[in-house]
Chains A and B, each alone.
Chain A
Amino acid sequence: MANPYLVVDNLTKVYERGQVLALRDLSFSVAKGEFLVVIGLSGSGKSTLLRCINRLIEPTRGRIWLDGTDVTRLSPARMRRVRRKIGMIFQQFNLVDRSTAIGNVLTGRLGYLPGWRALLGWFPKADREKALANLERVGLRDKAYVRVDQLSGGQRQRVGIARALMQDPDLLLADEPVSALDPATSHSVMQYLEQMNRQDGVTVIASLHFLSLARRYGTRIIALKDGQLVFDGPPTAIDNAKFKEIYGEDAEEVEVR
């Protein structure tokens, strides 16, 4: 890789006063425009890795270079400015259930808003139009003023995607974006991520449970086991032996079509 976009260098995360080692000396790099899929069992450190990249979780040791800046060294204020360009999608959607779809989508714009405006909740007209456009893009224009708790799981995740789109992200972190969804909805959500990756040139790092989804959408796969990197390569390189190594001897592959 000539000019890596994101470099993770010897990243270690220790929880609970040294009791749990979530990540151990993890090193890899991501090029601009990649669709990197992180796989591994529950508890292998996928969520921790994603949250260390935008420092929702403070890394214990190691460096993370994003576009030439070491994000582990940034002050909270500078980190907020970096986060504006990092979209994030969550397994449990993380929407305010009582707010409308557009209300949730607009929160993606908060990093760009001066303090007093955000305090009053006055988003500029341009932001409102942008929010509607992004809802249109995920096929939810007609649900803009519906409360989120009235929406289905797939619709909620699409609201989450629209919220991430509001940030005009360079990087998108997707933490198990389809784990709470059924297979058919999973593909529709994944296709939106793929579209962001291909059309908008957003670098995507997504953690996924199903290998079939990883193979279908990823341009590259890394696998974690007990916080360590056990695989790094193209989707086609994961054969049965590699699969057993990542998921354990008893694992059987389940297809999501």
Chain B
Amino acid sequence: MSPGQASARPRTNRLAGLARRGGSFLLDWMVWGYVAYGVMYLLNHYWYTRLPEHWYDTLRLPSWGWPVVVLATLEMAVWTRSLGRSLGQRAVGVALGPAAGGRLGLGRRVLRGILWHVTLPLAPVWIAQGGEPYHDRLSGSGLRPVVPDPERPARRALLTQWGIVSVLLGLLTLWVGWLIVGINIQVLIRRAPQAGRIWRDMLRPDFRYFTAPDPVFELRALRYSILDLTVVTVFMALVATVLGAAVAFPLSFFGARNVMGFGPVGWVTYAVVRGFFNVFRSIETIIWASIFAIWVGYGTVLAGILALTVHTVAALGKLYSEQVEGVAPGPLEAVWAAGGSRVQVVRHAVIPQVLPSFWAFTLYRWDINVRMSTVIALVGGGGIGDMLFYYKNQGDWPKVGAVVMVIVAVVWAMDYLSGRLRERIA
């Protein structure tokens, strides 16, 4: 090893050590900041509801409040890091231990906490010099990586400080979460009779316009029956699934590490394709539908098909790519060894392995698309949903019931059919 390398190594180690120490400290501080937020929220909520006069409308504090919160959380972080094993220390896998043999008693732990405050002004010196910080050195302690003792069981998580803090954090989150969401069971019960009327109406479905077109309901001057629009919807889903799968199939190989190799071109292609899948997949079908409704026409079948297709490409592409990455590497190696090209490797070693799961995913996607296509009409995607929302807005609940029942029947049938087919393939 050259001298240059010898000196470079401890330097990166020291920086990494500093980053770990700083990161875990920051995490502890954030944990207590979060606790402070939760406590303030609870105080606010209960004081506000109990006292007629406003305590504080929202999380507003007097001018001296914020420094107090910052300092208090900082203190909590310092003391939890000294007195036991904090969550932040646990996160980076270190614990406070004695510098030289023996146990680190409470006395030295308290001493370390006090020394932290005393030696705080010396922190820049320590950071510049490297080595252990002064509060560790003077109290004879240090942060050490935790190596589990194979001969001794680990302490029960709930008996450790970080375990207790984690549980408290969880409980606080649930409590505050419950209040923020404002779950109101009273309303649910009090207004049940109104909902009951709707339920009763819907359970007496009006199938008058099942096959005969409804004279009142029309889309772009054309009249439709429930059956007409159901057929339209199922075919919308079918066309979108076929189109989406056809685009996703070739793309998926470009989004698979093992096919693209590790050259720079492979990396870029992989990143671009995977990025496309992830971004387009995270935009829900209903959002795509509202975009295409503006683009190609509100309430048109085309808008719905385009929305379903785009989302199908991204969702199936990702699933396909992951399947491709999961194939057994042996057959690929064999085709390479026989003088095959990359295309031949894909065609004769990858595709035979992934085809069954590709079929299964595609059928599953068709299933999803049938369900999605019933609601995209809400934002102008067309299909049976148009009728559903029309009757709903009219308050014509028996007809809503009829449409819903048809949707349920279709979705259930599709689910059953694709399930059976998938069973066969697997």
A interface vs B, CB < 8 Å? Answer: 54, 56, 80-84, 86-88, 90, 92-99, 103, 107-113, 115, 118-119, 121, 160, 163, 166-167, 173
CB–CB A99/B330 < 8 A: no
Residues of B with C-beta under 8 A to A90: 330, 333-334
Complex Cα gap A84–B338 (Å) = 5
Residues of B with C-beta under 8 A to A99: 352
Known: A98-B356, A107-B348, A111-B338. 5 other contacts (CB 8 A): A83-B338, A86-B337, A90-B330, A110-B344, A121-B347
> Closest chain B residue to A103 by CB distance?
B352
CB–CB B352/A96 < 8 A: yes
Residues of A with C-beta under 8 A to B334: 88, 90, 94-95, 107, 160, 163
Mask for B342-374, Cβ within 8 A of A = 1, else 0?
A: 011001110011011000000000000000000
Q: Taking the nearest CB of chain B, how far is it from the CB of A168, in angstroms? A: 11
Q: Taking the nearest CB of chain A, how far is it from the CB of B145, in angstroms? A: 21
21 A-B interface contacts by CB (under 8 A): A54-B337, A56-B336, A80-B339, A80-B340, A83-B339, A87-B338, A90-B333, A95-B334, A96-B348, A98-B352, A98-B353, A107-B348, A110-B344, A110-B348, A111-B338, A111-B340, A112-B339, A115-B343, A119-B344, A121-B347, A163-B334
Name the contact of B338 in the complex, choosing from A96, A97, A103, A163 (C-beta under 8 A). A163
Name the contact of A110 in the complex, choosing from B339, B352, B356 (C-beta under 8 A). B339
CB–CB B341/A80 < 8 A: yes
Q: Taking the nearest CB of chain A, how far is it from the CB of B426, in angstroms? A: 12
Nearest 9 CB-CB pairs, A to B? Answer: A111-B339, A94-B330, A83-B339, A84-B339, A94-B334, A88-B337, A110-B340, A80-B339, A96-B331
Residues of A with C-beta under 8 A to B341: 80, 115, 118
Residues of A with C-beta under 8 A to B328: 97
The answer to whether B335 has its CB under 8 Å from any CB of chain A is yes
> Closest chain B residue to A109 by CB distance?
B338
Interface of chain B, main secondary structure: helix
CB–CB B339/A167 < 8 A: yes
Q: Taking the nearest CB of chain A, how far is it from the CB of B404, in angstroms? A: 42
Q: Taking the nearest CB of chain A, how far is it from the CB of B330, in angstroms? A: 3
CB–CB A92/B347 < 8 A: no
Q: A98-B356, A115-B343 are in contact. Are A110 and B330 (CB under 8 A)?
A: no
> Closest chain A residue to B350 by CB distance?
A96
Complex Cα gap A87–B340 (Å) = 12
CB–CB A121/B338 < 8 A: no
Name the contact of A121 in the complex, choosing from B331, B335, B336, B348 (C-beta under 8 A). B348
Mask for B159-181, Cβ within 8 A of A = 1, else 0?
A: 00000000000000000000000
CB–CB B353/A94 < 8 A: no
> Closest chain A residue to B348 by CB distance?
A107
Name the contact of B337 in the complex, choosing from A83, A93, A96, A115 (C-beta under 8 A). A83
B306-349 interface with A by 8 A CB criterion: 328, 330-331, 333-341, 343-344, 347-349
Complex Cα gap A94–B329 (Å) = 8
* Residue of B331, B339, B355 most packed against chain A (CB within 10 A): B339
CB–CB A119/B343 < 8 A: yes
Q: Taking the nearest CB of chain B, how far is it from the CB of A177, in angstroms? A: 13
Q: Taking the nearest CB of chain A, how far is it from the CB of B372, in angstroms? A: 31
Q: A118-B343, A119-B347 are in contact. Are A93 and B330 (CB under 8 A)?
A: yes
Q: Taking the nearest CB of chain A, how far is it from the CB of B161, in angstroms? A: 38
Residues of A with C-beta under 8 A to B344: 110, 113, 115, 118-119
Q: A56-B333, A94-B334, A107-B334 are in contact. Are A118 and B339 (CB under 8 A)?
A: no
> Closest chain A residue to B332 by CB distance?
A94
Residues of B with C-beta under 8 A to A113: 344
Complex Cα gap A218–B31 (Å) = 68
Residues of A with C-beta under 8 A to B333: 56, 90, 94
Residues of B with C-beta under 8 A to A167: 338-339
CB–CB A110/B331 < 8 A: no
* Residue of A56, A110, A111, A112 most packed against chain B (CB within 10 A): A110
Residues of A with C-beta under 8 A to B347: 118-119, 121
Complex Cα gap A88–B355 (Å) = 26
Complex Cα gap A86–B340 (Å) = 12
> Closest chain B residue to A107 by CB distance?
B348
Residues of B with C-beta under 8 A to A92: 330
Residues of B with C-beta under 8 A to A56: 333, 336-337
Complex Cα gap A144–B267 (Å) = 40
Complex Cα gap A87–B334 (Å) = 9
Residues of B with C-beta under 8 A to A110: 335, 338-340, 344, 348
Residues of A with C-beta under 8 A to B348: 96, 107, 110, 118, 121
Complex Cα gap A93–B349 (Å) = 13
Residues of A with C-beta under 8 A to B340: 80, 107, 110-111, 118
Complex Cα gap A114–B141 (Å) = 71
Residues of B with C-beta under 8 A to A93: 330
Complex Cα gap A96–B328 (Å) = 9
